[in-house]
Amino acid sequence: MTTYTPATHRAGRREWFALAVLMLPVLLVSVDNTVLSFALPEISRELRPSGNQLMWIVDVYALMLAGLLIAMGSLGDRVGRRRLLVVGAVGFGVASAIAAFSTTPEMLIAGRALLGFFGATLMPSTLSLIRNIFEDARDRRTAIAAWAAMFSGGAVLGPVVGGYLLEHFWWGSVFLLNVPLIIVFVPLALAVIPESRDPQPGPFDPISVLLSLLAMVPLVYAIKHGASAGLDDVTLAALALGLSSGWLFVRRQQRSANPMLDLSLFRNPVFSGALAANALSLMALAGFLYFGAQLLQLVLGLSPLESALVLVPGSVATMVAGFAAVRLVERVPVRTLVPLSFMLSSSGYAIAAFTGHPTVLSVAVAFTVLGIGIGLAETITNDLILSSVPPQKAGAASAISETAYEIGAVLGTAVLGSVLTATFRSHLTVPAVAKFGEQENAFETLGSTLQFAEQFGAPVEGWIHASAASAFDLGVQFTAGAAIFVALAAALVSRRTLQHG
């Protein structure tokens, strides 16, 4: 394994203060990933988007983020990571205001697209700056643990904050909360975060940027669309565009004297293995959150805010495990510790799969066990990714890591969500009287089934509710079972690729 460890320089007060400042944009992006979901009902009432527009309001942020991460990571290496971070933060604030005060669905879609565009500048910049600020291995692991903790904590904090804001303010407040944080962040970043860049970056390549965008956006869209519509013409066209653009992108990087993405990074088994493990772990985590949110609200009857609070212990466990990994990795080889962390994650899914009828307690315990495994793995694998590349390539490496995260999350919702939906549909039993005059897609999901059942009186409504709950419980068991295999696959990949860790 090739690692790059400059002369050890322990971090001082200025470096740790810089890390605290870097946590603000991490919090912005992670909260923004999850805060929107609770505002969708009010957005639907106020702006009256079509079904297709509502889908784009949800999806365009992730599509832009996934499509631009590699380009923005490379741009940060060239123009300066702090500069890109500050510019991106200002743009993120402007986009937040546009989204908050949108008066039409089209305006909100544009605002969300801008949030994804500027969000792509933030995450690679924060992680690559950590790589260059913290030279000592233990300091760097601690900083990465803080980064991962803030990212995981923000994802759970999003629904909590969103639920509170929606109880007291209008739907735009879930976007406007970004602005005060950015006003605080920008002057602090200019004062305490050191600038860093690749000293020999080569010219910026706009054609490679366009090809990376044309590769990632259609591929992510194909996964999302294919999960609900199957292999229709749109899915196949998106796949064809994404794969052909990806092939052209790789060919261009191979022929370029100064490639935007250094493909030689992937020849390092530690780098590529850690990336694959990250993607698989996020895939399983996203699947858990997908069925967990529905289970807590639609089956167990909790409010959105109460459901988010059930997941808080797991989020705290993720943070604690990330910091514990800093010490554990000094005593246990990474080739052992990382596979064990994924096996621990599989135990969390096993609790969800085999405890019979789920309860609030079983969901909380399962997510906590899962969180411990994810927290350990995220800190170690991100450290391996960054330490296996030279500091001047930290932006590109961070962007690749973030792209793996996004792809893993999309696959988790699409693949594991499809397992859940297919199981639910095949085991749902509906009285004939309810099927007469059935609305289109009335029994496609648990939410639509329960909503459609409300128009019937007892005992039909009660029958549908009981059957839907039973079918969904079985779907959760099947989905959690599939997630066990995903987590074990991540353990196997990490065991085989981290042999020299």
Q: What are the tens digits of pLDDT across the range 67-84?
A: 787 778 777 777 788 888
- What is the SS3 assignment for 149-210? HHHHHHHHHHHHHHHHHHHHCCCCHHHHCHHHHHHHHHHHHHHHCCCCCCCCCCCCCHHHHH
351 three-state secondary structure: helix
d(CA 211, CA 128): 23
* 316-325 exposure pattern, b = at least 16 Cβ within 10 A, e = fewer: bbbbebbbeb
- Range of lowest pLDDT (161-170, 436-445, 490-499): 436-445
Which residue type occupies 213?
L
Answer for the pair 6, 391: CB distance below 8 angstroms, yes or no. Answer: yes
Q: Is the peptide bond before 187 cis (omega within 30 degrees of 0)?
A: no
* 352-364 exposure pattern, b = at least 16 Cβ within 10 A, e = fewer: bbebeebeeebbb
Reported as a single tens digit per residue, the pLDDT across 431-460 is 654 554 555 555 666 666 766 666 666 676
Which residue type occupies 383?
D
Q: Which of 110-114, 162-166, 481-485: highest mean pLDDT? A: 110-114
Confidence tier at 101 by pLDDT (50, 70, 90): very high
148 three-state secondary structure: helix
d(CA 478, CA 485): 11
Instruction: Please report the pLDDT score of residue 241 as a whole number.
Output: 92
Q: Which two structure tokens, joined as six digits, stand for 173?
A: 């407040």
Q: Identify the residue with better confidence: 94 or 202.
A: 94
How distant, in Å, are the alpha carbons of 43, 104, 294 from that of 50?
Answer: 11, 11, 23
Answer for the pair 33, 159: CB distance below 8 angstroms, yes or no. Answer: no
Reported as a single tens digit per residue, the pLDDT across 126-157 is 877 887 788 777 787 788 888 877 777 777 67
For residue 108, give the nearest of 151, 56, 150 by alpha carbon: 56
In this structure, the number of other CB atoms found within 10 A of the CB of residue 448 comes to 15
230 three-state secondary structure: coil
* 93-130 exposure pattern, b = at least 16 Cβ within 10 A, e = fewer: bebbebbbebeebeebbbbbbbbbbbbbbbbbbbbbbb
H-type helices in 233-311, by residue range? 233-255, 269-294, 304-310
Q: Identify the residue with better confidence: 325 or 200.
A: 325
Q: Is the peptide bond before 459 cis (omega within 30 degrees of 0)?
A: yes
Q: Which two structure tokens, joined as six digits, stand for 50?
A: 């079509």
Instruction: Please report the pLDDT score of residue 57 as a whole number.
Output: 79
Instruction: Please report the pLDDT score of residue 9 as a whole number.
Output: 66
Instruction: Please report the pLDDT score of residue 244 as a whole number.
Output: 93
Reported as a single tens digit per residue, the pLDDT across 257-277 is 777 777 777 787 888 888 888
Q: Is the predicted pLDDT of residue 93 greater than 70, yes or no? A: yes
Phi, psi for 39 (deg, rounded to 5): -90, -10
* Dihedral sign from CA coordinates of 434, 435, 437, 439: positive
Q: Which residues contact 167 (CB under 8 A, 6 or more apart)?
A: 305
Instruction: Please report the pLDDT score of residue 73 as a whole number.
Output: 78
In terms of Cβ atoms closer than 10 Å to its own Cβ (0-12, 13-18, 19+), residue 17 is: middle
Q: Identify the residue with better confidence: 372 or 270.
A: 372
Cα dihedral 326, 330, 334, 337, rounded to 10, equals -70
Cα dihedral 81, 87, 93, 94, rounded to 10, equals -150
Q: Is the predicted pLDDT of residue 319 greater than 90, yes or no? A: no
Angle at Cα 158 formed by Cα 366 and Cα 61, nearest 5°?
110
d(CA 501, CA 499): 6
Instruction: Please report the pLDDT score of residue 421 as a whole number.
Output: 77
d(CA 270, CA 496): 9
In this structure, the number of other CB atoms found within 10 A of the CB of residue 398 comes to 29
Average pLDDT value over all residues in the chain: 79
Q: How far apart are the first and last CA of the chain?
A: 8
As a whole number, mean pLDDT of residues 289-299 equals: 76
Answer for the pair 353, 481: CB distance below 8 angstroms, yes or no. Answer: yes
d(CA 287, CA 187): 38
Instruction: Please report the pLDDT score of residue 293 as a whole number.
Output: 73
Q: Which two structure tokens, joined as six digits, stand for 127?
A: 């992680």
Q: Is the predicted pLDDT of residue 227 greater than 70, yes or no? A: no
What percent of the chain has a predicted confidence (pLDDT) above 90? 5
d(CA 242, CA 220): 9
Confidence tier at 2 by pLDDT (50, 70, 90): very low
Q: Is the predicted pLDDT of residue 121 greater than 60, yes or no? A: yes
Q: Which two structure tokens, joined as six digits, stand for 288?
A: 């858990």
Instruction: Please report the pLDDT score of residue 439 as a whole number.
Output: 54
Q: Which of 165-179, 252-266, 334-348: highest mean pLDDT? A: 334-348
Q: Which two structure tokens, joined as six digits, stand for 456?
A: 């019937």
Instruction: Please report the pLDDT score of residue 394 as a whole number.
Output: 66
Q: Is the predicted pLDDT of residue 240 greater than 90, yes or no? A: yes
Instruction: Please report the pLDDT score of residue 4 as a whole number.
Output: 47
Q: Identify the residue with better confidence: 315 or 368.
A: 368
Q: Which two structure tokens, joined as six digits, stand for 374?
A: 């994810």
Q: Identify the residue with better confidence: 5 or 48.
A: 48
| DSSP codes joined into one string, 292-328 | HHHIIIIIS---HHHHHHHTHHHHHHHHHHHHHHHHH
What percent of the chain has a predicted confidence (pLDDT) above 70? 85
Instruction: Please report the pLDDT score of residue 1 as a whole number.
Output: 43
Q: What pTM, to 2 d.p., does this model score?
A: 0.76
As a whole number, mean pLDDT of residues 48-60 equals: 73
